[in-house]
Amino acid sequence: MDQLSTIILAASLCIIMLGMGLSLRLSDFRRIIFYPKAIFVGLTNQLILLPLIGFAIVSLLNLPPEISIGIMILAACPGGPTSNLISHLAKGDLALSVSLTALSSLITILTIPFLVNFALSHFLAQDQIIELNIPETILQIFVIVVIPVSLGMFIRKTKPNFAMRMAKPVRIGSGIVLALIIIGLVLKEKDSFLGYFQKAGVAALLLNVITMLVGYFSAKAFKLNRAESTAISIESGIQNGTLAITIAVVLLNNAEFAIAPAVYSLLMFFTGGFLIFKASRLRIKN
DSSP string, 69-102: HHHHHHHTSB--HHHHHHHHHTT--HHHHHHHHH
Question: How many Cβ atoms from other residues are within 10 Å of residue 36's Cβ?
Answer: 10
Is residue 253 in a domain?
A: yes
Question: Cα separation of 74 and 246, whole Å?
Answer: 11
Question: Cα separation of 247 and 84, whole Å?
Answer: 22
Sign of CA dihedral 272, 204, 118, 44: positive
Question: How confident is the prediction along the chain (286 residues), in pLDDT tens digits per residue?
Answer: 556 666 777 777 777 778 777 877 777 667 667 778 899 999 999 999 999 999 999 999 988 899 999 999 999 988 777 787 788 778 888 778 888 888 888 888 889 989 999 999 889 876 666 777 778 888 888 887 788 888 888 888 888 888 878 877 776 776 677 677 777 766 666 666 666 777 888 999 999 999 999 999 999 999 999 889 998 999 998 888 888 888 888 888 888 888 888 888 888 878 877 777 776 665 545 4
- CATH code of residue 40: 1.20.1530.20
Q: Is 142 exposed, middle or buried (0-12, 13-18, 19+ CB in 10 A)?
A: middle
Number of structural domains found in the chain: 1
Is residue 9 in a domain?
A: yes
Is residue 95 in a domain?
A: yes
Contact 61, 199 (CB under 8 A): yes
Contact 234, 80 (CB under 8 A): no
What separation in angstroms does the CA of 18 have from each of 40, 214, 248? 26, 30, 21
Is residue 286 in a domain?
A: no
Question: Cα separation of 274 and 41, whole Å?
Answer: 23
Q: What is the pLDDT of residue 256?
A: 84
Q: What is the pLDDT of residue 286?
A: 47
Q: Which domain holds residue 27?
A: 3-281
Q: What is the pLDDT of residue 285?
A: 52
